[in-house]
Amino acid sequence: MNYMEIETFLMIVETKSITKTGEQLFLSQPTVSHRLKMLEEELNMQLVTRKKGHKSIELTAQGEEFIPIAEKWISLWKETQMLCMGKEKTFLTVGAIDTLSTTVFTPLYRKLIESDPSISIRIKTHQSYELYGLLEKHEIDVGFVYHNLYCKNIITTPVMVENMYLVQSPGRQIRKESIHTDELDPSGELFFNWETNYHIWHEQWINRKNVPRIQVDSYGLVKNLMANQNLWMIAPETVVLCLARELPIYISRIANEVSPPQRITYKIRHKNANASVRKASGILDDLMKPYLDREKLDPRRLMESRKECEINRNR
């Protein structure tokens, strides 16, 4: 039993196809089938059911039971390789949503790098659903997502809760402390699908079955469009604070009868993480606390503070 055979089996589990597994691993179909056959012979058990005329394959009961063993095997193999190479460094691969990495975790990443020279960190940016898949395959060690999904081998923990605010770009400003979304032009909205519950609220209170005209999925696009267009958007407080540092936006509370749901950030980790990953993840947890235990945003106070800065700059 070797790394290539286990890697191939886990890819078959993901794709449910010999053909797609070959495409993902850049192998021919006969090579994929040969690796699977060698693994089954060594284990003396059938892992998959092959049916003629069916493109997809199914796992046997033994194949299902072998999945967590195979995942542990891959994790231990990687740890062993580091020992064999004589490396004392701790490797940590973090996956996060773009807006989290940009608005919350960038200073945290810097602190983590500075705190321990023995830690090597890799940062990946993906959507929530993709991060769950990467963690299942041990391609990341810890992830930060907006969706709480059930996965048998993944532990999900809420780490941050944020209120939502209305933000208007410099050219489109209804200057009120609280604004109902009915007062705004839907065609001027910059829509960001923060998570499923927010999307449902948005359909009920703003779009009402119409598709938003402008949709984005990264903080960079939000910042650039808000700087140059007469737009408005609803965003969580960490995003609002970052925008306020860079743009003369106007911030208001949302006056709808039902407020948009709070945005919850979840930390996800694998149940079968190795000792090296657990060590690095513990260091990350200790450093992360000050960034999550922050003061809640006060729109009025923030606006007044920014006005004072502008007055001082003009003197």
Domains 90-160+264-292 and 164-261 share a fold: yes
* Burial of residue 300, with CB atoms counted within 10 A of its CB: 0-12 exposed, 13-18 middle, 19 or more buried: exposed
The pLDDT assigned to 286 comes to 82
Confidence at 266, pLDDT banded by 50, 70, 90: very high
Confidence at 83, pLDDT banded by 50, 70, 90: low
The pLDDT assigned to 310 comes to 47
**CATH for 164-261, options being 3.40.50.300, 3.40.50.10800, 3.40.190.10, 3.40.50.280:** 3.40.190.10
CATH architecture of 3-84: Orthogonal Bundle (1.10)
Res 260 pLDDT > 80: yes
Q: Which of 34-38, 289-293, 311-315 has the lowest mean pLDDT?
A: 311-315
Q: Are 231 and 172 in contact (CB under 8 A)?
A: yes
What superfamily in CATH does domain 90-160+264-292 come from? Periplasmic binding protein-like II (3.40.190.10)
The pLDDT assigned to 198 comes to 93
Using one digit for the tens of pLDDT, what is the confidence trace for 121-157? Answer: 889 999 998 999 989 888 888 999 988 888 888 999 9
Mean pLDDT of the chain: 84
- Domain chopping of the chain, boundaries: 3-84, 90-160+264-292, 164-261
> Bigger pLDDT: 288 or 96?
96
- Taking the C-alpha atoms of residue 219 and residue 216, their distance in angstroms, rounded to an integer, is 8
pTM of the predicted model over 0.75: no
The pLDDT assigned to 110 comes to 84
- Taking the C-alpha atoms of residue 104 and residue 129, their distance in angstroms, rounded to an integer, is 20
Q: Residues 305-311: what's their mean pLDDT?
A: 47
Res 173 pLDDT > 80: no
Q: Within 10 A of 199 (CB to CB), how many other CB atoms are there?
A: 14
